[in-house]
Amino acid sequence: MKEKPVMVGLGEVLWDVFPEGARFGGAPANFACHAASLGAEAAIASAVGADADGRAARDFLTQHGVGCQTLQTDATHATGRVHVSLDAAGHASYEIMENVAWDHLLWSPEWETLAARTDAACFGTLGQRQSRSRRAIRHFLQAMRPDSLRMFDVNLRQHYYSAEILRDSLELATAVKLNEAELPILAELLELEGGNETAQLARLAETFHLTLAVLTQGARGAILHSVGTCDSYTPPPISVVDTVGAGDAFTAAAVTGFLAGHSLAKINRHAAAVAGFVCASRGATPALPASLRRLLTPTPHAITL
Protein backbone atom coordinates (compact mmCIF):
# COMPACT_ATOMS: atom_id res chain seq x y z
CA MET A 1 0.00 0.00 0.00
CA LYS A 2 1.27 3.50 -0.77
CA GLU A 3 2.05 5.81 2.13
CA LYS A 4 -1.08 7.97 1.73
CA PRO A 5 -4.01 6.02 0.27
CA VAL A 6 -6.75 7.89 -1.55
CA MET A 7 -10.01 7.42 0.38
CA VAL A 8 -13.34 8.77 -0.88
CA GLY A 9 -16.69 9.41 0.76
CA LEU A 10 -19.29 8.69 -1.92
CA GLY A 11 -22.86 9.85 -1.34
CA GLU A 12 -24.63 12.30 0.94
CA VAL A 13 -23.35 15.58 2.40
CA LEU A 14 -25.71 17.32 4.81
CA TRP A 15 -26.23 19.22 8.03
CA ASP A 16 -27.54 17.43 11.12
CA VAL A 17 -29.88 19.89 12.84
CA PHE A 18 -29.96 19.31 16.61
CA PRO A 19 -32.11 21.26 19.06
CA GLU A 20 -29.06 23.39 19.90
CA GLY A 21 -28.04 24.02 16.29
CA ALA A 22 -26.71 22.49 13.06
CA ARG A 23 -23.65 20.26 12.79
CA PHE A 24 -21.98 18.96 9.68
CA GLY A 25 -22.83 15.35 8.79
CA GLY A 26 -23.58 12.64 6.28
CA ALA A 27 -21.94 9.23 6.66
CA PRO A 28 -19.68 9.43 3.56
CA ALA A 29 -18.63 12.98 4.48
CA ASN A 30 -17.87 11.94 8.05
CA PHE A 31 -15.86 9.00 6.68
CA ALA A 32 -13.82 11.37 4.50
CA CYS A 33 -13.14 13.76 7.39
CA HIS A 34 -11.92 10.95 9.62
CA ALA A 35 -9.87 9.45 6.79
CA ALA A 36 -8.09 12.79 6.41
CA SER A 37 -7.46 12.94 10.17
CA LEU A 38 -5.96 9.46 10.04
CA GLY A 39 -3.47 10.46 7.37
CA ALA A 40 -5.15 9.52 4.11
CA GLU A 41 -5.60 11.70 1.05
CA ALA A 42 -9.35 12.14 1.46
CA ALA A 43 -11.93 13.39 -1.03
CA ILE A 44 -15.71 13.71 -1.24
CA ALA A 45 -17.86 12.83 -4.25
CA SER A 46 -21.25 14.40 -3.57
CA ALA A 47 -23.31 17.55 -4.15
CA VAL A 48 -24.46 20.60 -2.20
CA GLY A 49 -26.83 23.41 -3.08
CA ALA A 50 -25.85 26.91 -4.21
CA ASP A 51 -26.81 28.19 -0.77
CA ALA A 52 -25.32 29.15 2.59
CA ASP A 53 -25.46 25.54 3.82
CA GLY A 54 -23.57 24.41 0.72
CA ARG A 55 -20.85 27.03 1.13
CA ALA A 56 -20.52 26.16 4.81
CA ALA A 57 -20.27 22.44 3.99
CA ARG A 58 -17.54 23.08 1.43
CA ASP A 59 -15.63 25.23 3.93
CA PHE A 60 -16.01 22.59 6.65
CA LEU A 61 -14.69 19.81 4.44
CA THR A 62 -11.75 21.93 3.26
CA GLN A 63 -10.85 22.85 6.83
CA HIS A 64 -10.85 19.14 7.71
CA GLY A 65 -8.42 18.32 4.90
CA VAL A 66 -10.95 16.80 2.48
CA GLY A 67 -10.57 17.47 -1.24
CA CYS A 68 -13.69 19.07 -2.72
CA GLN A 69 -12.89 19.07 -6.45
CA THR A 70 -15.60 16.41 -6.91
CA LEU A 71 -18.15 18.11 -4.65
CA GLN A 72 -20.77 19.30 -7.16
CA THR A 73 -22.88 22.45 -6.75
CA ASP A 74 -26.56 22.06 -7.66
CA ALA A 75 -28.19 25.39 -8.52
CA THR A 76 -31.70 23.88 -8.36
CA HIS A 77 -31.80 21.85 -5.14
CA ALA A 78 -30.94 22.77 -1.56
CA THR A 79 -28.12 21.33 0.51
CA GLY A 80 -29.31 18.33 2.52
CA ARG A 81 -30.54 18.65 6.08
CA VAL A 82 -31.46 16.05 8.71
CA HIS A 83 -33.34 16.92 11.89
CA VAL A 84 -31.79 14.88 14.72
CA SER A 85 -33.17 14.01 18.14
CA LEU A 86 -31.33 12.14 20.89
CA ASP A 87 -32.80 9.83 23.53
CA ALA A 88 -31.62 9.63 27.15
CA ALA A 89 -28.81 7.23 26.17
CA GLY A 90 -27.52 9.58 23.46
CA HIS A 91 -28.77 7.45 20.55
CA ALA A 92 -29.97 9.38 17.52
CA SER A 93 -33.15 9.31 15.42
CA TYR A 94 -33.46 11.21 12.15
CA GLU A 95 -35.93 13.12 9.96
CA ILE A 96 -34.30 13.38 6.55
CA MET A 97 -35.17 16.07 3.96
CA GLU A 98 -35.99 14.74 0.49
CA ASN A 99 -35.19 15.98 -3.04
CA VAL A 100 -31.97 17.73 -2.02
CA ALA A 101 -28.69 18.25 -3.87
CA TRP A 102 -27.18 14.82 -3.12
CA ASP A 103 -30.29 13.18 -4.61
CA HIS A 104 -29.12 14.51 -8.00
CA LEU A 105 -25.50 13.39 -8.34
CA LEU A 106 -24.04 13.37 -11.83
CA TRP A 107 -21.29 11.21 -13.30
CA SER A 108 -18.57 13.55 -14.58
CA PRO A 109 -15.00 13.55 -15.95
CA GLU A 110 -13.80 14.75 -12.53
CA TRP A 111 -15.46 11.77 -10.85
CA GLU A 112 -13.95 9.41 -13.43
CA THR A 113 -10.45 10.76 -12.76
CA LEU A 114 -10.90 10.40 -9.00
CA ALA A 115 -12.35 6.88 -9.26
CA ALA A 116 -9.31 5.68 -11.22
CA ARG A 117 -6.93 6.69 -8.41
CA THR A 118 -9.11 5.73 -5.43
CA ASP A 119 -7.80 3.06 -3.03
CA ALA A 120 -10.99 2.90 -0.92
CA ALA A 121 -14.46 4.39 -1.29
CA CYS A 122 -17.26 4.29 1.27
CA PHE A 123 -20.90 4.34 0.13
CA GLY A 124 -24.26 3.44 1.67
CA THR A 125 -27.97 2.97 1.03
CA LEU A 126 -29.17 6.49 1.80
CA GLY A 127 -27.20 8.11 -1.01
CA GLN A 128 -28.88 5.69 -3.45
CA ARG A 129 -32.49 6.53 -2.57
CA GLN A 130 -32.99 8.33 -5.92
CA SER A 131 -32.22 6.64 -9.25
CA ARG A 132 -29.97 9.40 -10.65
CA SER A 133 -27.63 9.36 -7.66
CA ARG A 134 -27.77 5.57 -7.54
CA ARG A 135 -26.50 5.41 -11.14
CA ALA A 136 -23.70 7.92 -10.47
CA ILE A 137 -22.54 6.09 -7.32
CA ARG A 138 -22.50 2.72 -9.06
CA HIS A 139 -20.68 4.17 -12.06
CA PHE A 140 -18.00 5.48 -9.68
CA LEU A 141 -17.62 2.08 -8.01
CA GLN A 142 -17.37 0.29 -11.35
CA ALA A 143 -14.72 2.77 -12.55
CA MET A 144 -12.44 2.05 -9.57
CA ARG A 145 -9.44 -0.25 -9.98
CA PRO A 146 -10.16 -3.96 -9.39
CA ASP A 147 -7.73 -4.01 -6.44
CA SER A 148 -9.40 -1.08 -4.63
CA LEU A 149 -11.63 -1.44 -1.56
CA ARG A 150 -15.33 -0.68 -2.06
CA MET A 151 -16.75 -0.38 1.47
CA PHE A 152 -20.54 -0.66 1.70
CA ASP A 153 -21.64 1.05 4.92
CA VAL A 154 -25.21 -0.28 5.10
CA ASN A 155 -26.48 2.68 7.17
CA LEU A 156 -30.23 1.91 7.05
CA ARG A 157 -32.37 5.02 7.49
CA GLN A 158 -36.18 5.05 7.66
CA HIS A 159 -37.64 3.55 4.45
CA TYR A 160 -34.72 4.50 2.18
CA TYR A 161 -33.57 0.98 1.34
CA SER A 162 -34.79 -2.26 -0.23
CA ALA A 163 -33.64 -5.84 -0.66
CA GLU A 164 -32.71 -4.96 -4.25
CA ILE A 165 -30.50 -2.02 -3.23
CA LEU A 166 -28.86 -4.09 -0.50
CA ARG A 167 -28.13 -7.03 -2.77
CA ASP A 168 -26.89 -4.88 -5.67
CA SER A 169 -24.65 -2.87 -3.32
CA LEU A 170 -23.14 -5.99 -1.78
CA GLU A 171 -22.42 -7.39 -5.22
CA LEU A 172 -20.52 -4.19 -6.09
CA ALA A 173 -18.73 -4.06 -2.73
CA THR A 174 -15.57 -5.78 -1.56
CA ALA A 175 -16.23 -4.93 2.11
CA VAL A 176 -19.23 -4.22 4.34
CA LYS A 177 -19.87 -2.45 7.63
CA LEU A 178 -23.15 -2.66 9.53
CA ASN A 179 -24.38 -2.41 13.11
CA GLU A 180 -26.15 -4.85 15.41
CA ALA A 181 -29.60 -3.41 14.60
CA GLU A 182 -29.03 -3.67 10.84
CA LEU A 183 -27.69 -7.24 10.73
CA PRO A 184 -31.03 -9.02 11.45
CA ILE A 185 -32.82 -6.82 8.90
CA LEU A 186 -30.20 -7.58 6.28
CA ALA A 187 -30.21 -11.29 7.14
CA GLU A 188 -33.98 -11.50 6.76
CA LEU A 189 -34.18 -9.54 3.50
CA LEU A 190 -31.33 -11.52 1.94
CA GLU A 191 -32.34 -14.88 3.46
CA LEU A 192 -29.18 -15.27 5.51
CA GLU A 193 -30.93 -16.01 8.80
CA GLY A 194 -29.85 -18.59 11.38
CA GLY A 195 -26.94 -18.77 13.79
CA ASN A 196 -25.45 -16.09 16.01
CA GLU A 197 -24.09 -12.70 14.91
CA THR A 198 -20.62 -14.05 14.17
CA ALA A 199 -22.03 -16.82 11.99
CA GLN A 200 -24.33 -14.42 10.12
CA LEU A 201 -21.46 -11.99 9.51
CA ALA A 202 -19.29 -14.81 8.16
CA ARG A 203 -22.14 -16.03 5.94
CA LEU A 204 -22.64 -12.51 4.59
CA ALA A 205 -18.94 -12.21 3.75
CA GLU A 206 -18.80 -15.62 2.11
CA THR A 207 -22.03 -15.18 0.13
CA PHE A 208 -20.87 -11.91 -1.44
CA HIS A 209 -17.12 -12.72 -1.59
CA LEU A 210 -16.18 -9.82 0.70
CA THR A 211 -12.60 -9.36 1.85
CA LEU A 212 -13.70 -7.58 5.05
CA ALA A 213 -16.94 -7.57 7.05
CA VAL A 214 -17.41 -5.33 10.10
CA LEU A 215 -20.20 -5.58 12.67
CA THR A 216 -20.33 -2.82 15.27
CA GLN A 217 -22.19 -3.62 18.49
CA GLY A 218 -22.28 -0.37 20.44
CA ALA A 219 -20.81 -0.74 23.93
CA ARG A 220 -20.12 -4.43 23.17
CA GLY A 221 -17.49 -3.42 20.62
CA ALA A 222 -17.19 -5.00 17.19
CA ILE A 223 -16.61 -8.21 15.25
CA LEU A 224 -14.35 -8.21 12.19
CA HIS A 225 -14.28 -11.04 9.64
CA SER A 226 -11.80 -11.50 6.81
CA VAL A 227 -10.97 -14.57 4.74
CA GLY A 228 -12.22 -17.04 7.33
CA THR A 229 -10.65 -15.20 10.30
CA CYS A 230 -12.62 -13.35 12.99
CA ASP A 231 -11.75 -10.95 15.79
CA SER A 232 -14.12 -9.82 18.52
CA TYR A 233 -13.23 -6.98 20.90
CA THR A 234 -15.12 -5.22 23.69
CA PRO A 235 -13.53 -1.87 24.62
CA PRO A 236 -13.49 -0.38 28.13
CA PRO A 237 -16.67 1.52 29.13
CA ILE A 238 -16.85 5.22 28.23
CA SER A 239 -19.13 8.11 29.08
CA VAL A 240 -21.27 8.63 25.95
CA VAL A 241 -22.16 12.18 24.92
CA ASP A 242 -23.72 11.22 21.58
CA THR A 243 -23.16 8.43 19.08
CA VAL A 244 -23.55 10.46 15.86
CA GLY A 245 -20.62 9.73 13.55
CA ALA A 246 -19.05 7.03 15.73
CA GLY A 247 -19.76 4.30 13.20
CA ASP A 248 -18.27 6.43 10.42
CA ALA A 249 -15.13 6.98 12.50
CA PHE A 250 -14.86 3.23 13.12
CA THR A 251 -15.24 2.57 9.40
CA ALA A 252 -12.52 5.06 8.44
CA ALA A 253 -10.11 3.62 11.01
CA ALA A 254 -10.90 0.04 9.99
CA VAL A 255 -10.32 0.81 6.32
CA THR A 256 -6.99 2.57 6.93
CA GLY A 257 -5.79 -0.33 9.06
CA PHE A 258 -6.96 -2.93 6.57
CA LEU A 259 -5.29 -1.17 3.63
CA ALA A 260 -2.10 -1.05 5.71
CA GLY A 261 -2.23 -4.83 6.10
CA HIS A 262 -2.60 -5.02 9.87
CA SER A 263 -4.15 -7.88 11.79
CA LEU A 264 -7.87 -7.83 12.53
CA ALA A 265 -7.07 -7.57 16.25
CA LYS A 266 -4.94 -4.44 15.78
CA ILE A 267 -7.49 -2.90 13.43
CA ASN A 268 -10.37 -3.59 15.81
CA ARG A 269 -8.68 -2.02 18.83
CA HIS A 270 -7.53 1.09 17.02
CA ALA A 271 -10.93 1.61 15.38
CA ALA A 272 -12.64 1.15 18.76
CA ALA A 273 -10.44 3.84 20.29
CA VAL A 274 -11.25 6.27 17.46
CA ALA A 275 -15.00 5.57 17.67
CA GLY A 276 -14.94 5.78 21.46
CA PHE A 277 -13.41 9.24 21.30
CA VAL A 278 -16.18 10.35 18.93
CA CYS A 279 -18.87 8.92 21.26
CA ALA A 280 -17.40 10.90 24.14
CA SER A 281 -17.48 14.14 22.11
CA ARG A 282 -20.10 16.46 20.62
CA GLY A 283 -20.70 16.14 16.88
CA ALA A 284 -19.75 13.62 14.24
CA THR A 285 -16.22 14.82 13.42
CA PRO A 286 -14.45 16.12 16.55
CA ALA A 287 -10.72 16.78 16.24
CA LEU A 288 -8.90 13.55 17.05
CA PRO A 289 -6.13 13.59 19.69
CA ALA A 290 -2.55 13.16 18.52
CA SER A 291 -2.50 9.54 19.73
CA LEU A 292 -5.26 8.64 17.27
CA ARG A 293 -4.54 11.17 14.51
CA ARG A 294 -2.26 8.99 12.44
CA LEU A 295 -2.46 6.44 9.67
CA LEU A 296 -1.43 2.98 10.82
CA THR A 297 2.03 2.22 9.40
CA PRO A 298 1.85 -0.32 6.57
CA THR A 299 3.27 -3.76 7.29
CA PRO A 300 5.91 -5.24 4.97
CA HIS A 301 3.22 -7.56 3.53
CA ALA A 302 0.09 -5.43 3.21
CA ILE A 303 -3.09 -7.30 2.32
CA THR A 304 -3.71 -7.66 -1.40
CA LEU A 305 -7.40 -7.25 -2.18
- pTM value is 0.91
| Domains of the chain with bracketed CATH | 6-279 (3.40.1190.20)
Grade residue 105 by pLDDT with cuts at 50, 70 and 90.
very high
The confidence score (pLDDT) of residue 297 equals 55
More reliable by pLDDT, 192 or 127: 127
Does pLDDT of 248 surpass 60? yes
Euclidean distance between CA atoms 77 and 89, whole angstroms: 35
Q: CA distances (Å), 185 to each of 48, 53, 247, in order?
A: 31, 34, 18
| Local structure of residue 6 (DSSP, 8 states) | E
Q: What rounded mean pLDDT belongs to the chain?
A: 91
By C-alpha distance, which of 36, 37, 33, 41 is closest to 3? 41
User: How crowded is residue 58: how many other Cβ atoms within 10 Å of its Cβ?
Assistant: 18
The confidence score (pLDDT) of residue 294 equals 64
